[in-house]
Each structure stands twice: as structure tokens, then as C-alpha cells.
Structure 1
Amino acid sequence: MDKYGYTIKPKKEQRPAQLYHKPDLALMTTFQLREICRREKIIQGVVNPMDREDLIRVILRYRGADEYFLIKKRDEAGLAAAERAFKESVLRERRDLPLTCSSRIAAYKGCAIRFYDGLTLPWEADLAGTNAFIVSGDMTVCAILNLLPMGRRRDCLYLTMEAESVCRESEVKNYSLYCMGRRESEKMYRIYHGKYDFTPGYMEVYRIPLLDFEVREPARLPIPAAMDFGTSNTTAGVWLDQQYFEKMGLRDGERGLHMNQANYALFCDTARDWEETPLLPDGRLKDGEEYQALIIDCGGGTTDLSSCRFRVWDRRAAYRIEIDTAYENGDTDFGGNNITWRVMQLIKIALVNRLYPGELKPVPELLSGFDRDVFRYVDENGCAALYRELGSEYEKAGQRIPTRFREFENQGRADYYKVKNNFYLLFGLAEKVKKEFYGHVGTLRIALSSGSGEDGAADAAARIQAGKWTLSVRAGRGLETIKEFPDVAVSVYELELLLKADIYGVIRRFMEPMYEENALEDYSIIRLTGQPCRIGMFRDALKEFVPGKLIRFRRQDSPGGDPAKDAGLKMTCIQGALRYLRDRQYGFADISIRAGEPAVPYQVTAYTHTGEETVLIQSLKRSARSGIISRNLEDLTLTLYLKDPEGRERCQYACRSSLADFEEKTYEEIREIYGEHILQADTDDIAGREARFFVWAKPGEWAFCVVPVYRGDGKLYLGKEEAFYFENDGWMQNFFDGTK
């Protein structure tokens, strides 16, 4: 008959228990540990207030992962003990698991075997974190490997080996790979390290026959590798030819490597193979004709502008390429992190509005001031005026959700880490929001919450989950960590309103001086590089100054057509470097690259005794990189001011001089040291007891020099030289210094 009634304990799908390692727990905050206790239903860690160490102990007691006893270093005595164990013990081969792996294993002298080498076994929980031995027919231990899972993947186990571990061939081949359960593996670990004195009578093992085990010499790369060290990401690539594959015994496509192509690795993520983008526009170059290009590179922390003039000749034996390049301008205040910072401001204000309604302006009202002709407004008033109200509301939001952890360094340890956690939590969420919007086509709205997705913004196309017990707010009794992360939503329309002025501001700073001088007409190519340039507003801002057809902006075809996996803009520099190295190596091109003197995007000023400001080094003008200013000599200090092209003071430098620092010199001796930087005409009219400071730029060292010359009793005296860098950590913007 039909069943009527209510099932008290309905059957639910049981998920495997999550296990935790002590080193991973040691890196977590108290609130993250408390969230683990809540999620894993460890009542003792939820009900009773515990400190961080007690929470780690409780989690390890109920959800602790087994400790791995892995052999990682070569030890001759341990190796002899392991071989004795294999020779004298009775090896009982188990056949209850269908284990298979590559029948040929190759190792390289002095090189480790890692996940990307692709040596795998089928997943078996009892074998995770155990040792495996490659043993020859005469029971010689040739290599000791470790069976490890790759993160949370449960489809296979990876055979890995440290570079310092045992790795040798044997005269007697007939190799086998011996795997063993956790108990036997730990026993071999203790035997190897001398903690187990006697040989076991028998051991249970899994034996996998191998066709061959080979130890090879590493092959020299055909051309040098190229690396791009960025603020946020680091990339590397190398060109591999057919001879390299033959030396290594590899097939085309094996281990993700491709013959006669550039092979790339992205250090911030799993290694991928990226398709190439030509450095020069194919089919559009006329033989011997000069082309000029501008390259705008927006990285994680800075944005730079470089120029390039090049000509290409198709000679009988090879191409002849001449390239002249120079640095033209830069902005240390704008990059991908700046965009993330703006998104974080929006999220923080939205959170305070959600928790404390009415204290701040609603986000739609706040962004209504951005809904205008932003480009013309920035032309007339600058970016700072548009973001002033946003900054004011963000400061108010900091009273409820503090993120300036530097201000808490002299307060309690617990409050300091709560505030620091607030910053990195919100900055990390803002980075995810940015990547979701500009890495996936069609995402219009994103919801942030700590729930599973049933509540919050129902119309959100994507959700980003924030952990519980992660956000701390200022309440009546100080900082309190709240359980649930408030539900907030961000739309792509809000982000476009928010970011448009910043992006146009940096493009305008670079392009407007050249636009006013009609210099942009000389450039046939304008290239956007760097991952932030995926945002279409960069191209829109450039169209204010140049026709869109000049702008080179092309995504690569990413695997599966997912734009989030497109790294073409990041890889442009590496691609060009690899093509240059390849063509030089194989004689395809005779390439000449000349680096011109960089333009300095700063000016150095000082004030005369009458209070008049004098420009000593002019910004972006290669012909005006030196100046002089005079003082009456006592024990004096000359203050110099570093300013950006917009006239904002960035830094002050103090040049201190006293009579003891000067040595008598003739002008001929001064000229021999400093050449044309100190001219005789500028020293002849130095009056008595007057010290004249000569200031000039050193663009190659990204610094400037200050040298004082003093006249006394009709003689010249030369003071000590001081050098100052244009950029230093004292004034450059840092989003992670605890002041945001």
C-alpha cells in the first residue's frame, strides 16, 4: 500500500569528509578555523570559545588528514637499508587494485619530477601520500618516488620525486614499480631513516611491471628562455625545435609541448599552451619603409607608454630589421590593481548600506554623478573631482568596516588581524568580480553572499561566495566578526560608470600632449598590451585621439572559446622576445635593436630665496634635463621637489652641504669629471660665498644628480655628488601597505 506520513531523517547524499593538514590550518585566521568547525559540525569548536591553537588541535582531532611520511632526500645508509628490506623480506603481491601507469619512465639527472610531468596512477585513497620504489630485477632500488594528490583532484595520483632523491639505472633491467599501503610505506620510511632496526618478515605490495626506466642528461635549450616579471603575474616561454625533441626523446604534443613552436607557462595558474599572435601585422609591410608604433602596456601596478620605429627589408638570405625604441611616458598610479581598488570601494560602500541602512548614500545615487559626458568632464576638471564624493563615502564606510590595518599596528593583535583580514577579503572579492565581468561574455550582474545561492539577488547571472565568519564590523563593543556575509550585488553598468573616468584619465595623460603637437599622425600602429586592456573602455578612450583602425587589440582563441582563459595580451611581450631569439638563432633575420634615451615623466623644482619656483629638470623633454640654482653657503640644506606632469608634488629630497664637504678644484678638473654637465660659463660668474647647485637627469639609471660648486677667495671648490632616484617606495602608490 502507499506510504503516508513524514520521514524524519530523509536520506541525503553523503559527501566525503574534508580532511585538513596542520601546515594549511596554521596559515588560517581564527575566524576561518571557526568556520571550518561550523561547516564540519565540530560542536566543541563552535560552542566553546577557543583561541587559534585550540581550534587547530580540535580540527586535527576530528578532521585531521594523515601525516605523510615521504622519502625525499638521498641517504646512502638509508638506501642500503631499503635494498636489504626488499631482498630479505617476502614480498606478497596484492592484486585487488587495478593499478596502471606509464610503462616507460624517464628521469633527468638533478631534476625533480612534478605534477606537470604527467606520471599518474588511478586514484586510491589508501595510496595517497605514500612512497613508491622503482626496483630492478636484482632488487636494486633505482628511484624513490612519492604518490601525491594534486590539490583536491580525486581522479588520479601523481608520481613525484625531489631533485635530491635517489635516481640511478641498474645493469640488470627488468624494472618494476612497487607501491604499498600507508602502513607498509611508513615502515619503509622508518627503515630508510634508521628508526626501524630489523628487517620485516614480509611486506604487502602492488607491483607494476615497467618496460624501461631511464636516467637521462638534461638537454640544453636551443635558444634562451624568455620571462616577463610582472607586478601581478609572471610568464615564461621557450621555443622548442625538432632537434630538442629528438634529444629529449619526446613526441610532438607529449607533456603539452609542441615542436617548432613557442611553449608558454603562466606562473599564476596551471601551465597552458597559448597560441601565437604575430608581432608585426602580416602582409602590410612595404620593403624598406619606416613604420612607427606606440605601445601602451597596462600591467598590474603601472601603465607605460613606449614608442618604436622600425623598417624591414627582404634580403636574399634573410630579413633585415632595424628597430629603434624608447620609453615615452608612464603612470605609477594606474594598473590592474587600481581597477580592483575601485571595485573594492563600491563593494565596501554597498556592504555598509546593507548592514546599516541610511548611514551612507545608496550606490545608485552615488554613481548618478558619473552618468554624464565623462570624457569632457575629465578634460575640464580632472579625474580627482569626479571621484571626490566616492572617496568621502568610502572614508565613512571605514568607520564601520575598517580596512586600514596599519592604523591598528599599535593596538591589540586580534583587532589588527581582523582589520587586515577585512582588507584582503574585500580586495580578493573585488578581483574576482573584475575577472568575472571582463573574463566572461554576457555576465551582467554578480551577487556576493555567504549563502549557497538560494537567497540574495535572484536576477544575478553569477555568484561569488564569501565565507562565513570572515567580515569584522565596528559595533558598540569594538570590532565584532559577523557570521553571515551580507548579500550585495554589482552590475556591469555600475562598473562601467565607475571605471570610465580612471581609464580615460590615464589614456588622456599619455595621448593629449602628442595629440596637441600633431605627433600622433606619424604612428601607423597603436598597440594595447597587458591583461587590464581586455576592458573595452581602453579602446573607447583611445578613439578620442586616434582612428579606431590604428588600434591593435586582438584576443587569442582560447581553449573552449572561454575568454577567461585568454592570456594573449599578457603574452605579447614573451611572444615577441621568443620570435626575436628564434630568428637570430636560425639566421632568419638580421635584427638591430637600438634603445633610445627614455623620456622622464617627472620634473624637479626648487625655490629661490625670493620664493620663486624654478624648474631644474623638465618633464618629458629630452632637451631640458639640467638646471642650476644658487644659495649662500653655510651649513645649508637645499630642498628639491619631485612633481608629476600634472604638477602634483610626489616627493621631497634634501641635499645637505657644508664647507667640510668641498675640495679645491680647477675648472679643468671639474670638466674632466662631469663633462658638459657643468659648463665653464656657469662657473665663471659664481660670486664669493655663493654655492651653485648643478642638477641633471640620468635617464638610464632613472635618477638625477646634484653637485654643488662653491667659490671662495677667487678659487673653485667642488662639493660631494648626491644621486636621487625618481621613484621609490616612499611615495609610489601601494595598495597593500595598510593605508587603504
Structure 2
Amino acid sequence: MTMYSYRLYTGKDGRKAEYDAKYTASELAEMTTFQLRDICYREKLVEGFVNTLDRDKLISLILKFRGAEGRRLIRSYKNGGFERVEEALHKYLNQPLSGEGGIQAPVRMILYPGMRVDRKDGYRVTAGGALTESNVLLVNEQNELCGILNLIKDGDEPGSFFLAADQEAEIRRTPNRNYSLLFFRQQDSDYLHKTYYEEEQLPPTHLYYYRIPVAELEIRELETTSAVLAIDFGTTNTTAGAYLDSSYVGNRSEADVLQERIRLDAINYVSFADRTKKTEEWIELLPTVIAVKDCSDPSSIVYEYGFDALKTMRSSGYSSHATVMHGLKRWVNDYRRMEEVTDASGNMAVVARSELIRSYLLHVIATAEHQFKCRFKTLHISSPVKLKAQFMQMFRDILPEYTIEGSRQLDEGMAVLFNTIADQIEKNTFMDGAAYKALVIDCGGGTTDLSSCEFRIEDGHISYKIDIHTAYENGDTNFGGNNITFRILQFMKIVFASYYRGGRGLADIDRLIDIPGNDIFRYVDEYGVQSVYASFEAAYREAEEIIPTRFKLYENRTREEYMRVRNNFYFLWEMAESMKKEFFHKTGVLRNRFQSDEEIGRENDLNITAVDRWYLSVMENGQFKEVYQYPDVVFNIKEINHLIKADIYEIVRKFLDEFYRSGTLQDYSIIKLTGQSCRIDVFREALKEFVPGRSIEFKQKAADTGQVPDLKLACLRGALRYISAHKAGSIEANIVHHAPVVPYSVTAFTHNRQERELVVCHQRLDQIHGFISRPADVGEVELFLKDSAGKLRHKYVYTNEAASHRAVLYEEIEQEYGSHIPQEETDSIVNGEVKFFVFAQNQHWGFHVVPVARRKEQLFVGEARFFAFENDLSELDFFDGLK
């Protein structure tokens, strides 16, 4: 069996490199006392964990033996700084160093004002021991300053660097085009840093430098392209890409094409830098996470996105005051709400959710523009079919400077299905004119949706004619990949709690879920999914006494206690997410263990996840105790499959049971699985209970060619293939969206407490129609949303302002609301009565309430108000501190 291992701090020859961690004062200042003691323990600074030192003394101790100077790089813009550096050049640049210091720099560069430069651009620099990370100046023959760049270490290889610059970096054209790069010693680079940021005059100096000519340098403006940037905005992760033909810009970068950083006449995916590991990696997805870096100026808040936000959380031991937002997609129905945010320094600001979403999406767009070297003006942002109207409205609202695709906009399920249709056309495996019926199950990070579709493909005279009829059938806004991560977290917490209290055998999965694997499906059918996890949940509640994770309950305790518990949750969550990926994104991984890199051994079929710092706080005799000991515990794939089997079967059963019982399931020739979570074999096993396996489209590759599962990119790929085919004229598509099925009911009580159903469960959205009567001067009416099991999900209150009602004729009501408010219903309204009409329209996932009253034989109509079925896309928040 092939061994899979994940290591940190390894050299090129596979042997462990020397561990030589260094810490800056700013890094240490963000850490808790517990973390500082943990560093002393790992670095064998005995004084730090034997003696009881306070925070300041611990920081001083670590800096004394493991201190590192912060990099003094010119990055953020400072007014007047560019001119001060240029002045310093003219005064003090008179000490060239002999030779070229073994420096090899790029002979050709293309720079774009307002566009950052990073490792992805490939401007590599190699040198001997003469250089460290420093500031590099771009000058012309007269030493006029044209730009300020940064020299950044590239991996662990000695003397390997790359050139970088922030988006704010100034790039200036000059009449003289003989450019050179000036490289400086560390002390001279620091002097330039002070010159740039400090307005006070610095003492004179001599600037020693190496001058390396640049044979060819162009400073270009970005061209605006007609290509469409597609974004799959997900609850957990976001992906983006564009189909770039040979004419997407007039003056493209040939170096990017030759190095295959840009692929012409093909789909190009945007990759993002993952700096959460020791070695920077580029991956085609970005976690949908945003963190507040600096809000000292509320009018110009600085954010961190995706991996950078997660890295900051981890480096601070999850103890920072900085606000971190997960699952931005959930806000679609309430995106104008204001949020109070703070940064690590405790500064507070109030910002709209729409601004947070906009900032995140602009970061995705800027990354795409940087990699593809063009400006995008048109966006295709996919959305769930049931919420397409709300998402389109939100995106157009928060990104007014962009054109959001309308007529060619595909919902997530439709995009996934078109990917299959495009495959059929490309491989010529379709029957001309034959009708196909498909079900698409999309299990993402936070939600799961079921869509149905019927389509035909005809090979026409000048193009393929595609006729598609699609509808949303069912969904669960509270089940997705995060639910699976949380189940694994629960299991890990139970196992670790048992280990640390010495009862290793008590956390056996067969004791926690004492139902044979072959009987779980039948057990869920008969007794419900909650009964499967009854003992498991009880054990998890007991584990809370040993390893507390519900940090919300510690808000009134000391900061140290609160941070310990918060650290426990996020530390376990990160490990659970890592283990889930290892088990389900690679075939052949049967077991998993957590160890330090120093202890990694080799065993067949065993995946070792190296954790550079193990820090859990265990409760012992009512006091917190730091745990540095790695638990001698191995998790295996059979345990995890047994753990999640009932949850996955329940969601599949919820979606397909009605189709199965009605006999309509056999009409569907394709069952399409998509979303990262659908890689799990238990999904296919559960589906086989309802449909034969040969009907299921489920791609599980023997080994991933990239780090992003193919199923995650299916939605993005389908949207891009549709846009490019439509643009090329190879297809003519007729897409009809049928009203979705509503898995909720809405009720209200009459004056004598009789409950009246206004929206019937499992009714099509366009069939929703009901009303409830009240006295005309009523102040408010309560409406109750219930799920298919009759459980109350939400209470809505419509506030009735009778004074704002306007007198109307029925013809005016009919013109505005059509058949949603029938004349026979308004004719029956008596004087002193108001009817609150409930209906849906315009494909909005929710219902409208409109009051119509009669006073002195005159009809009056009040303000229409929309109520979303889900205030947040998912009501289950795993990061609320109550889990």
C-alpha cells in the first residue's frame, strides 16, 4: 500500500531540516500567555516553563534567544515617500559595490501601474550571500526613480529570491528607458525604508549598491477585455476563472503564455497563494473568509482574505481580537445589515455586510486581473437556483461598476449539468433529439440542494440546439461539508478527552454508535437520524468537561480562560478539516495520526499529519492545564465512514424518498453529484438504496492532478463552457426555469386561535396564495414558518401602519399584483376588515405580504413587504462559540 505523508520542515533530500524558529516582537505580542509558555517548552527555554513568568517577561525571554527582526520593506503607500527616496538617491547614491555580487536578475520585465507583483509573475533573482530580503529600486540611466520593489525569499533554497510589489506601489515612466535594478545591503535598505516612511530629515549616509541592468522593461496599462470572469461564490470556498481566447487582449504577455501561466483558447483558473503552510503553495480556490486587519480608520478599513485570514488566526493562536467572518454567502437575504468589527489592536468600527462581501469579491477580481493581465468588466457569479433573483440583486447592488451576466447567467445546478451536456456534445454520446432527465445533488460547504432537469440536444444546421427545463426540488440549508467536519471534530474531542483522562477504550466508535454499519440505513428509516447519535452526543457533552470548546459560555470569565477554550475549538476544527481532506481527497489513505515532524515514522497505509505546535487546554480538578503531549491515537477510515453514515443517508433520503415512493425516480437517466463533499463514497452507497449505481455520475479519480477536487470545479467549468460556446455561436440554448418546490409551510392564527395554513408545504413557488383577516386597525400580524416536519423555524411580524394605507380601485391592485390578489377576495372584504395576502413572485425565495382593507366602502392597500424563507442562507453557525 502506498504511504501518504504530510511533512513540515523537510529538506530537498527528504531528511528533516534543522528547526530554527524565529519570532518577531509583533508576532509574540498577539499570542496568549499559554502560547508563549508553549514556545518556551518547544524551544527548551527552561526558565519560561519552569518559573511562573508574566507575559512581558516571557516575550523578553523568547526575543533574547529566538528573536527575529521584522522585515523593513516599503509596501503600503505613504504620501511623499517616493519623492524622499528619490532625493536620497541623488544625494547619497555614490558607493557602487564591486562586481555584481553574483546577482542574476530578469532580463525582461513587464510592469503595470496599480497592479501588484508577486511570486506568480516569475521574476526570480539568484545571488550568493550578498543579499537578504530588502528593498530594490528601479531607476533609469540618470538615476531617476521609476519604482520601488521588494526582494522576497523564495523557499528555503539559499540565495533564491523573487521580486514583488504591492498594488499601491508607484511605477513611473520616464523619457529615458535604460532601466536598472539597484540592490542594497540590509542596512542601506533599512535606511531607504525610514526615508520613505519618516518625514523628518535623516542623517547623511553612503548608499552601497549593486546595479543590474534590465535589458528590456515595459510599463503598460492594463487592457479591458471582453472575456467574462466567472466566480463560484461558495459558503466555504470560492473559485474563479475565465475562458481566454487568443484575442482576449491586444498586447498579451508572451512570457506568461510560454510559461503556461496563461493558456490560450482554454479555461484558466485563478489560483491563490496558500501561506498557511511553511512552503507557499498556489491553489485554485480561496476560503470564503474575511478578517479585519486594521480598522483604526473606519473610512478605510484594511482586510485580509482567505488563506491570509486563516494564517493570522492560527499565528495568534485564535486569540486575536480581530473579527473574522466565515460563510459570507449566508448573508444574501440580509446583506445590508450593519456589523460591528474590531482589529487586533482593539479598534472598533461599524461596517455593512455588503461592504464585506464587496471587498472579498474585489479581492478575487483583482487576483484574476493580476494573473491574466487584463481588466474585467463583465462577471458571471453563480448562485443557488432557488436564490438566483436575490443573489443577482445583491451582486448588482454591491458591484455597480461591473456588468453582471443576466441572460447567460447559470445557477449552480444548471452550470454543473451543462458541464455534462458539453461533455456529451464533445464526445458525441448524445441521441439527437432524445429527452434526458437528470437530478443534480450539490453538497457544498454549508448547504445541499437538489435540482431536476429535462433537456434535449439537437444537431442543427448551424449550431447545437439545446432545450433545458429545470427546477429546484429540495434543499437543506443546514447540511454541507462543514457538518462532516464538525462530526469529525466531535469524535476527535471525545477520543482526545478519553486519552487524556486515561480511558483509551471508552472512545471506541462501536460503543459511541452501537449500530452495525449494514443496519444504519434501516435504523434511520425506522427511528430517525437523531437516535443514531444519541450516545455519541452524550459522550460529546461529557468531553466538554475535559476539553471545553464552547467559548461563548466563557465570555464572562477571564481573558486567559476564554482564549484557551476558543483556541481548543479552532485547533480541533483545523485538524478535523485537515483529516477530512486527507481521507476523502486521496485514495489509499486508510489511517491518520497527528504527530510532530520530529517523531514521524513510516508505516504502510498510515497518513501522518505533522502539527508544528500542539496546544490544547485540558480541564483538571477545575483548573486549566496545558497539554504538550501528542496523543498516541490513530484514526481510520472505517471509523469516519461509520461516524458520518447516518448523516449522509438522512440527507439523501430527505431528497429522494418522495421520488422513490412515487415511482418517478426511475424516469431520471442521470443522477449528478457535485460539490466537494460528494467525493465521499458513503454518498454513493446511500444513493444505491434508491437508484442503481450505473445511473450515478460520480467521478472519483485515483489521484488528484491538482489540490482542488474536480467536483468543486464542475460548477465553474460548466459556466465557462456555456459562456464560451454561446459566444462562439456553437449552441443555441433555450433555458426555462420552473417554479421551485417550497419545503416550508407558513401559518397564522385566527382570533379564536385556529391555525390557518397560508403556504402549503411542498407547493410550487408560483402556486403560493393565501390570506388571513384582521380588524382594519390591527398593529401587527404574526406569521410562522415551519419545516416539512412541522417544526417551527422562524416567526415573522408584519407591522401594519393603517395611516400609510392609500385608497385604490381594484384595477390598480390588479395592475400591480395581478392574480396574486383575486378580485373575488377583495370584494368579500367588509368595512373595518383588512386581509393580509400572502404570495410569491419574481422567483424570490420567500413570500410577500400585502394588506388590503376596506373603510367606508373604499379599498385601501398597504406597503408590500418581502419575507425570506431563510434570513441567513444557513441558520447553523459552527463558529458561534456554542458547539
TM-score by length of 1: 0.88
**Residue 687 of structure 2: aligned partner:** 542
| 2: CA distance, partners of 1:436 / 1:165 | 40
**Residue 784 of structure 2: aligned partner:** 641
8 Å contact kept, 2:81–2:195: no
Change (3 A) 1:90 1:713: closer
1:137-148 alignment to 2 at 5 Å? Answer: 137-148=141-152
**Residue 104 of structure 2: aligned partner:** 100
8 Å contact kept, 2:513–2:535: no
Matched, 1:382 2:531: no
**Residue 70 of structure 1: aligned partner:** 73
1:651 partner SS: strand
**Residue 238 of structure 1: aligned partner:** 242
8 Å contact kept, 2:136–2:184: yes
Change (3 A) 1:217 1:460: same
1:439-458 alignment to 2 at 5 Å? Answer: 439-449=585-595, 452-453=598-599
**Residue 280 of structure 1: aligned partner:** 423
**Residue 305 of structure 2: aligned partner:** none
**Residue 127 of structure 1: aligned partner:** 131
Matched, 1:37 2:180: no
8 Å contact kept, 1:637–1:655: yes
8 Å contact kept, 1:83–1:140: no
- CA-CA distance at 1:519 after TM superposition: 2.6
Matched, 1:652 2:795: yes
1:280 partner SS: helix
**Residue 330 of structure 2: aligned partner:** none
Match of 1:596 among 714, 717, 738: 738
**Residue 258 of structure 1: aligned partner:** 263
- CA-CA distance at 1:305 after TM superposition: 1.4
Change (3 A) 1:268 1:644: farther
8 Å contact kept, 1:136–1:142: yes
- Report Cα offsets for 1:606-631 as digits up to 9, x if no partner: 34455544322123321641222334
Larger-Rg structure: 1
**Residue 682 of structure 1: aligned partner:** 825
8 Å contact kept, 2:138–2:181: yes
Change (3 A) 1:25 1:142: same
Match of 1:349 among 476, 494, 499: 494
**Residue 326 of structure 2: aligned partner:** none
8 Å contact kept, 2:228–2:242: yes
**Residue 6 of structure 1: aligned partner:** none
**Residue 718 of structure 2: aligned partner:** 576
- Report Cα offsets for 1:26-58 as digits up to 9, x if no partner: 443332232222222334433443444554444
| 1: CA distance, partners of 2:252 / 2:590 | 48
2:515 partner SS: helix
The count of residues paired between Structure 1 and Structure 2 equals 723
Matched, 1:308 2:463: no
Change (3 A) 1:717 1:160: same
Change (3 A) 1:424 1:249: closer
- CA-CA distance at 1:336 after TM superposition: 0.5
1:16-35 alignment to 2 at 5 Å? Answer: 17-35=20-38
Matched, 1:726 2:869: yes
Q: Match of 1:581, as an amino acid?
A: I
**Residue 298 of structure 2: aligned partner:** none
Matched, 1:527 2:672: yes
Q: Which moved more, 1:710-719 or 1:393-402?
A: 710-719
Match of 2:635 among 472, 490, 494: 490
2:69 partner SS: coil
| 1: CA distance, partners of 2:876 / 2:509 | 26
Match of 1:249 among 250, 253, 270: 253
Change (3 A) 1:286 1:729: closer
| 1: CA distance, partners of 2:813 / 2:18 | 80
- Consecutive unaligned residues of structure 2, counting only runs of 5 or more, are 1-14, 275-280, 286-417
| 2: CA distance, partners of 1:109 / 1:382 | 60
| 2: CA distance, partners of 1:14 / 1:659 | 76
1:573 partner SS: helix
Change (3 A) 1:628 1:222: closer
Match of 1:413 among 539, 544, 559: 559
**Residue 514 of structure 1: aligned partner:** 659
- Report Cα offsets for 1:619-645 as digits up to 9, x if no partner: 332164122233466746533221222
8 Å contact kept, 1:37–1:45: yes
- CA-CA distance at 1:316 after TM superposition: 3.5
Q: Match of 1:728, as an amino acid?
A: N
8 Å contact kept, 2:450–2:474: yes
- Give the RMSD, CA atoms, in angstroms: 3.3
- Report Cα offsets for 1:497-522 as digits up to 9, x if no partner: 11111111111111112222333233
- Report Cα offsets for 1:230-253 as digits up to 9, x if no partner: 111111111122234762131534
| 1: CA distance, partners of 2:706 / 2:487 | 21
Change (3 A) 1:84 1:425: closer
Matched, 1:90 2:113: no
Q: Match of 1:337, as an amino acid?
A: N
Change (3 A) 1:222 1:91: farther
Matched, 1:369 2:534: no
8 Å contact kept, 2:152–2:164: yes
1:112 partner SS: coil
| 1: CA distance, partners of 2:205 / 2:612 | 48
**Residue 190 of structure 2: aligned partner:** 186
Q: Which moved more, 1:168-177 or 1:221-230?
A: 168-177
2:839 partner SS: strand
8 Å contact kept, 2:520–2:645: yes
- CA-CA distance at 1:484 after TM superposition: 2.4
8 Å contact kept, 2:227–2:248: no
- CA-CA distance at 1:605 after TM superposition: 2.1
Match of 1:207 among 204, 211, 217: 211
Match of 2:760 among 618, 631, 642: 618
Match of 1:299 among 444, 466, 486: 444
Matched, 1:434 2:580: yes
- Higher-RCO chain (CA-CA 8 Å, sequence separation at least 6): 2
| 2: CA distance, partners of 1:556 / 1:244 | 33
2:423 partner SS: coil
- Report Cα offsets for 1:538-578 as digits up to 9, x if no partner: 11222222222221122468xxx447724211111111111
8 Å contact kept, 1:691–1:709: yes
Aligned identity (percent) is 38
Change (3 A) 1:332 1:154: farther
Match of 2:227 among 223, 236, 249: 223
1:415 partner SS: helix
- CA-CA distance at 1:215 after TM superposition: 0.8
